[in-house]
Amino acid sequence: MRDEVNLWYNDPPDGPEPLPLPWRMLLFWYRQPDPRKYYYRNLQRQYERAHIYLFLTSYHTIQNNWVEEEITAAVSRYTEFGDRYIRIYPVLVSPSHWKKHSRLAHFKTLGPKRTLVETVPEEEGYLEITEQLAKVLKDLQRNLEEEKFAQSRDIPVTDIAPIRQTSVRPNVEEDPAQFFELPPAFSAPEWLGWSVLFLLMLVTLVGLRPDRILSPSLRYRNVEPANRKPIEYLRDYPPMPPPPHAPLPRLGEPDSARGR
């Protein structure tokens, strides 16, 4: 089928790889670009340009809200462009009440009448789906070529609605796996992160209190020991205590008032 059409299906890549521990501590606000986000964004663009929608019916798919949203989007395109350019086919994978609990009940199934689980061997069911799908492709390609020819001749076509995509021919560049590009992600060795962390811690500690960090004794390097007596300078006259009956001088009193 890849030789005739582009096949788009949900096959998202893995999530972003976590940064090493030191870089997560240093760059705690940084988040690696998630390839799944860009993949789904591109897949949505491709989904809006598709002409054939195959929905696998099973108990799990009819309970999936995301699948239900895709069915709603496909039905909207079918309502807008009609059966001439948009085809929706349920593919019976396993027994389920898809006709009661899904919007696919009004569309014709593709493949065997029984489910693929009940088809023995199962490969025959896939072969029947492929053969029927090849006929649908030829029918759609003929309609698209007629629309393209009518537009090239500048002929007003009243019964043909304008379409967004005028070709279903393969184009490798439109493959969702190669179409989107991720922004550059941060990449650095783990040992470099540990080195940066160590240097930051060392600079922070030294900058806070270098006297305590380098050596506790440096803080008291210039302080005199407690057991050392102060230096005695030579005096011409030894100090004499005042006489016991002499009054103490008062602040601001002249020398003559002190009885000298």
pLDDT tens, position by position, 42-57: 878 888 888 899 999 9
Q: Is the whole model's pTM more than 0.85, yes or no?
A: no
Contacts of 81 (CB under 8 A, 6+ apart): 161, 163
pLDDT by residue for the chain (260 residues), tens only, comes to: 666 677 777 777 788 888 888 888 888 888 888 888 888 888 788 888 888 999 999 888 888 888 888 888 899 999 988 888 899 999 999 988 888 888 888 899 988 888 898 888 888 989 999 899 989 988 888 887 877 656 655 544 444 444 444 333 333 344 444 456 667 777 888 888 888 888 888 888 777 765 555 565 666 666 667 677 667 777 777 777 777 777 776 776 665 555 54
pLDDT of residue 139: 87
Q: What is the pLDDT of residues 201-218, one digit of tens each?
A: 888 877 776 555 556 566
Whole-angstrom CA distances from 38 to 109, 112, 212 are 32, 36, 53
pLDDT of residue 4: 65
Say how far apart CA 220 and CA 3 lie, in whole Å. 86
Single-letter residue type at 151: Q
pLDDT of residue 170: 36
What sign does the CA torsion over 80, 2, 66, 124 have? positive
In what helix (H) or strand (E) does residue 191 lie, and over which residues does it extend?
A: helix 190-208
The Cα diameter of the chain in Å comes to 137
Cis peptide before 249 (omega within 30 of 0): no
- Residue matched to tokens 């960090």: 213
pLDDT of residue 46: 80
pLDDT of residue 175: 47
103-129: b or e for each residue (b if 16 or more CB lie within 10 Å)? Answer: ebeebebbbbeebbeebeeeeebeebb
pLDDT of residue 252: 66
The three-class DSSP label of residue 39 is helix
